Structure 1
Amino acid sequence: MGMGRGDQHVATDLGSYDDAEHWFVRLLDPECSAGERAEFEHWRSADPQHAAAYDEIERLWRQSEEAAKDPSIVAAANRALRSGPDNHVPRRWLYPALAAGFALLLAVVTLPQWLTTPAAADGTRYSTVAGQQQTVPLSDGSSILLDTDTAVTVRYSARTRRVDLLRGQAQFTVQGNHAWPFVVHAGHGTVTAVGTQFQVRLDGDSTDVALLRGKLAVAAESPQGRTQEAALVGGQGLAFGADGHLAAVHAIDVQKAEGWTQGKLFVHDWRLPELLAEMNRYNAVKLEIGDPSLRDIHISGVFRTRDQQTLLQLLQRGWPIHARRMSATQILLLPNR
């Protein structure tokens, strides 16, 4: 049977379909390694028949997903499963593509749940404590860099790569796969990526998104069910809140955005409470303002996230401030009198 796109036709043998089915199912497995994916790409590019077979399997899978929603078709598939001595679809008398499509339809009805729903109901959880950062490599070659006091849950399924940001902030480096979107759920919205690097941060009811490279689709939903959507390109960011409203897209300072990944804070005209709050995220000892008169101090500079001593020295030399240790975990900033 000839297959292809447009006016180009490639004759595809049954063996190519068998191999394509094997690769298709293997690639859906969350445990499929980067090495196996590279081996698949080598197989696919080695012969035009391989690419044509895989494209057809992929197309039939999409069709079979729709077909599986029809009760009459599901019933027919189940009857076919119960027929025959070995419960196998009688493929050899069918055209290869029809056989492959029917087999994939049966897969929708009968495959184990990891193939049609998330790998685990609760997913796999990763978290860091205050002052800790951790890089989490994922099975598809993507990775997540967790910042201090951050938690995520990862759920990979056949249809999507899902990550829930539960608290804190993270940087996502995503391997491209247009057929398998990477979706981050955070706050009251989602961030969908294909082959990008971006950051998402939860800060109270606000969710901030910063795109370092590539493209992103951002969507937020209001409590009333209304959805707003926006598209970002590299060097842009936005925020959304619990009301589902997307703030205007704006240019970001990429160096500043990447600062925390290097243990740095790039600070420009921050109020002292803002700076202390950010430094406190990375340290067990908390710096607190002990007098309202210090709240309007504005500071600029580059600070090491875990270097409280340098910050304290700077504050006490540059402003009429002295630091008083109140306990093992609290330092109070007070004005000189």
Structure 2
Amino acid sequence: MDRRNTNRGAALGSYDEAEHWFVRLLEPNCPANERSAFEHWRTADPANAAAYREIELLWKQSEDAVKDPAVMAAAARALRPEPAERFRRHWLFPAFAAGFALLVAAVVLPRWLATPAASEGVAYATTTGQAQTVTLSDGSSILLDTDTQLTVRYDAHVRRVDLMHGQAQFSVHGNHAWPFVVHAGSGTVTAVGTRFQVRLDEHATEVALLQGKLAIAAASPDGARQEAALVAGQGLAYDDGGHITPVHPVDVPQAQAWTQGKLFVHDWRLADLLAEMNRYSNTKLQIGDASLQDIRVSGVFNTHDQQTMLMMLQQGWPIHTKRISATQIELLRNQ
């Protein structure tokens, strides 16, 4: 089976399920057990969460469009089912018609107007310890770090990338009429021609600009929106609540170290160093003595050379290691 086609099908399935849940949760009498089932579905797969965030963003953008009779007429034409389909979707039409009208404009109409290539996209993913460079049709390129997943969707209006998890560096070919937009977490990163990095962790997204300019927008669950701009050598982060941190300087060589398979570490907590190294290996390092958590470490480490890092730690700090299993190593304090 073609893995890319499988990924495409999975992405479309997540989007369809997200539409279903969004409509269902609009109903004022939606029971608590269904809301609980929705939360279970959303957290079960990063693609589900990403699809639902996209529906929410489209919903927020629809408030003006829904007032346009031409837009609503087009949406109605796009939704008009065949007789059998009308019966199958009968559940979609209870007494929340006003809310559903917004959903038509926000969700279905954009998909109806999109080209098949834009709606499906092309998925790329790396496994633990793997890196991959992707060259796109416009001359832009993406370098995917370890354990990273994203989807690229190009159409006539926008070059869109959805980062599901992980970290990537984007080198964007400039075109002012064709913006390049990365969707990650609760926000978007928009470039014209530039080089930048985006990292999506469990609860936050970090952006580092290496060259050019960027515009960042983040939305909170209640629709509040924050915006910021970066110039070369600057960075910021935003969380799941849509809050953007103050802009801060970026150490460009340190930011690019992972693209060369290295970590430039300056006064890091040992726990943070191990967490970062664990991203690149199936053998996980863990601290077995709480007194080691806040040891401060500096140095240059190879992301794919766990053993040398452990030797350096044992030579420079009162640490020894103990292998617990084939995939676990524990760090302990010397007695």
Determine if the TM-score, normalized by the shorter chain, exceeds 0.5.
yes
Which has the larger helix fraction? 2
Q: Secondary structure at the match of 2:222?
A: coil
Distance 1:320 1:215 in 2: 45
Q: Secondary structure at the match of 1:332?
A: strand
Distance 1:116 1:239 in 2: 31
Gaps of 5+ in 2: 1-64, 75-110
Alignment check: 8 A CA contact 1:322 1:333 kept: yes
In the other structure, the counterpart of 1:331 is 329
Alignment of 1:145-184 (within 5 A): 145-184=143-182
2:272 to 265, 274, 280: 274
Alignment of 1:88-167 (within 5 A): 116-117=114-115, 119-167=117-165
User: Aligned residues: percent identity?
Assistant: 68
Deviation digits for residues 94-146 of structure 1 (CA, Å, limit 9, x no counterpart): xxxxxxxxxxxxxxxxxxx9984461433211000000000011111001100
Distance 1:184 1:244 in 2: 15
Distance 2:328 2:211 in 1: 39
Are positions 1:245 and 2:265 aligned together? no
Q: Secondary structure at the match of 1:204?
A: coil
Distance 1:115 1:195 in 2: 27
Please report how far the alpha carbon of residue 71 of structure 1 lies from its aligned counterpart in structure 2 after TM superposition. 4.5
Residue type matched to 2:327 in 1? T
Distance 1:118 1:210 in 2: 32
Alignment check: 8 A CA contact 1:115 1:157 kept: no
Please report how far the alpha carbon of residue 156 of structure 1 lies from its aligned counterpart in structure 2 after TM superposition. 0.6
Distance 2:265 2:313 in 1: 14
In the other structure, the counterpart of 1:59 is none
In the other structure, the counterpart of 2:13 is none
Are positions 1:313 and 2:311 aligned together? yes
Alignment of 1:1-337 (within 5 A): 71=70, 116-117=114-115, 119-337=117-335
How many residue pairs are counted as aligned between the two chains? 232
Residue type matched to 2:160 in 1? R
Residue type matched to 1:171 in 2? Q
| TM-score when normalising by structure 2 | 0.66
Alignment check: 8 A CA contact 1:152 1:167 kept: yes
Alignment check: 8 A CA contact 2:118 2:155 kept: no
Greater Cα offset, 258-267 or 313-322: 313-322
Please report how far the alpha carbon of residue 153 of structure 1 lies from its aligned counterpart in structure 2 after TM superposition. 0.5
* Higher Rg of the two aligned structures: 1
Distance 1:140 1:258 in 2: 23
Deviation digits for residues 127-181 of structure 1 (CA, Å, limit 9, x no counterpart): 0000000001111100110000000011111110000000000000000011110
Distance 2:323 2:129 in 1: 20
Distance 2:69 2:262 in 1: 55
Greater Cα offset, 327-336 or 269-278: 327-336
Runs of 4+ with deviation above 2 angstroms? 69-72, 113-118
Please report how far the alpha carbon of residue 317 of structure 1 lies from its aligned counterpart in structure 2 after TM superposition. 1.2
Residue type matched to 1:216 in 2? L
Distance 1:118 1:215 in 2: 31
Change (3 A) 1:252 1:220: same
Residue type matched to 2:197 in 1? Q
CA RMSD of aligned residues (A): 2.1
In the other structure, the counterpart of 1:105 is none
Residue type matched to 1:245 in 2? H
Residue type matched to 1:168 in 2? G
Deviation digits for residues 242-261 of structure 1 (CA, Å, limit 9, x no counterpart): 11111001110000000000
